[in-house]
Structure 1
């Protein structure tokens, strides 16, 4: 298995469950997990499994658009953020205490799912089970042919420090569309860490990535005109691209071979969120192994995959309407229901209410195209 978010969570689960103590676990990862290369944010109620790693959290949120400014009524949900370096350090330190776990700094070159062998640049291994975080080679071809939809969630953010006390530390900004780039679904995302320090991130949901200078230009404009801050220091820069897709990752799983992480469809197609979703997937995999069921049993929920497909097709064909779509979502539904829906924990009646709130000609066309 790989040593990223999904692989480390899965290895942690194997080691904390006594049922797998006799199994040898190899974590094959070409990268050194020693940099703070990202932050994972998520919502959840109550005390969570990773609360000891949470660097910041917010009980309230905002949604801002030309159609209205909404306060998110969290209803007990807390928005939490974990720095990747804290996660990497904690998990690797934890796993090093288990003699049956071995970290291998190498690159996987080939996996044979007929005889369950893994070849790397420098060695070969045989396994009872393989958990593979690499994307399928079919992914790019499927998107290029139009068989699968892909929306890039691409972003650039600055952690800035200001002289004045500017930020409300009790409230994060989920989306602020007042800074959007013309004819795109784009917005500012804000995580305030203190009254004078925050992550300000310019985020796009677009079918293609053909932006560069726009990130900095929009960030500067937002900080100056909306936040009314003239003097600030950039203390950290974050940039990334998260694939939001309906590619059928589950079709490439086998009896003892499972695609995990981004390469296994663990990123939610309609949101790009993965941290909490990975935790749930790992728990289900452990249950499946202990009960003798297929590795991916109950991981993928077909109706939620269908909802994601509709949403992605709308964003692909009507990207300029993204702001209106999200405003309908957040203005016409209880915010706790939205979080529950995006966590795939709603019942069909609740889902019908959500879909009804988004009803439009564009959604009808996308449903029939599916």
Structure 2
């Protein structure tokens, strides 16, 4: 069993692990650090989206951007420009191809080991990582390993989805318009909507997304709903499915921590970087990784910019409603998009809004489910 000492060890070669390495590489002393990347070798097949008013550090990996957002429900539909925001998409294969074929080759101080981590301990400020490939030692460890918490949150939903990358036999898509929510699908026992990202007039990613307390559906259930949705929205159009993606994202009010059991710094989903009520995480993870890299470089303590304060309160209220009254989901989101500009909605979801903006937004939502949930949570 071999032993090697590193300045930094990163556990997990995914969205968070690679974004952290990218940010560390921007620090002045980067070339002098010995860095270990531990990967389980399991390929990830997924993509990421985010909105922003400025360029992301990985903007060069953005596959497609949209200037307009569409919302649809059975009794309301609207498309709006969302300037100064743009909505961006990064394909998973583009992301991983860049890091595996370009970034790692350009940074020879990174050693990549494909293995499974068995245990992680910390003795006198030095970490020992026991893996199936041997024991590695590091002064600092960052980990994106997500473990089911022993005490989960009070509200624990799942956002699960399956998407088709499709090609149509004739132009049907508006290239500049991304459909974030289309509720013209059966709701059944969960909040369910379609999500459409057009890459060209004849190519798009179309997903069926559900917010539910149940686990992910069988692929056949998603596929049946996708088939029905496409036939309804684009009647008479022949569709070819060229690829698929499927995933599951936690939606929970669990109180995450900055540190793991051995004192390692947690990343990504493991650190609560997923916005509980939307499932968006890419930009939040990027911001977190930037401050973690700066903290390591300067020797300052890392802060923890996850959802807190009033935004955590808003998230808890909505999670409670979607758990106990999923049938209210369509009505709540329809009121939100009908009475609030899409730009202000994005600002609110980004947690950049003011108290005045939030009061106006909330006052336009159906008050009965929120008041009922507020009373229930106050009693709890």
Specify if TM > 0.5.
yes
Task: State the shift of 1:357 in Å.
Answer: 2.9
1:131 to 112, 136, 142: 142
Contact 1:223 1:229 in 2 (8 A): no
Alpha-carbon distance between aligned partners in 2 of 1:232 and 1:106, rounded to the nearest angstrom: 40
Contact 2:72 2:181 in 1 (8 A): yes
Task: State the shift of 1:121 in Å.
Answer: 1.4
Alpha-carbon distance between aligned partners in 2 of 1:320 and 1:261, rounded to the nearest angstrom: 31
Task: State the shift of 1:299 in Å.
Answer: 4.5
Change (3 A) 1:339 1:19: farther
2:121 aligns with 112
Contact 1:15 1:95 in 2 (8 A): no
After alignment, is 287-296 or 43-52 more displaced?
287-296
User: Normalised by the size of structure 1, how large is the TM-score?
Assistant: 0.91
1:288 aligns with 295
Structure 1 residues 57-136: aligned runs within 5 Å:
57-92=65-100, 93-113=102-122, 115-136=126-147
Task: State the shift of 1:311 in Å.
Answer: 1.6
User: Normalised by the size of structure 2, how large is the TM-score?
Assistant: 0.89
Name the SS for the 1:345 alignment partner: coil
Alpha-carbon distance between aligned partners in 2 of 1:106 and 1:302, rounded to the nearest angstrom: 39
1:42 aligns with 50
2:350 to 332, 343, 349: 343
Unaligned segments of structure 1, at least 5 residues: none
Contact 2:258 2:265 in 1 (8 A): no
Task: State the shift of 1:305 in Å.
Answer: 2.3
Change (3 A) 1:259 1:43: same
Task: State the shift of 1:183 in Å.
Answer: 4.1
Alpha-carbon distance between aligned partners in 1 of 2:181 and 2:66, rounded to the nearest angstrom: 15
RMSD: 2.2
2:24 is aligned with 1:14: yes
Name the SS for the 2:166 alignment partner: strand
1:274 aligns with 281
Contact 2:142 2:264 in 1 (8 A): yes
2:203 aligns with 197
Unaligned segments of structure 2, at least 5 residues: 1-9
Deviation string for 1:189-225 (max 9, x for gaps)? 0011111111111111111126333312211111112
Alpha-carbon distance between aligned partners in 2 of 1:229 and 1:48, rounded to the nearest angstrom: 39
2:323 aligns with 316
Structure 1 residues 232-247: aligned runs within 5 Å:
232-247=239-254
Task: State the shift of 1:182 in Å.
Answer: 2.2
After alignment, is 111-120 or 285-294 more displaced?
285-294
Change (3 A) 1:366 1:142: farther
Alpha-carbon distance between aligned partners in 1 of 2:17 and 2:192, rounded to the nearest angstrom: 31
Contact 1:288 1:297 in 2 (8 A): no
Alpha-carbon distance between aligned partners in 2 of 1:252 and 1:316, rounded to the nearest angstrom: 29
Change (3 A) 1:300 1:186: closer
Name the SS for the 2:29 alignment partner: helix
Task: State the shift of 1:297 in Å.
Answer: 4.0
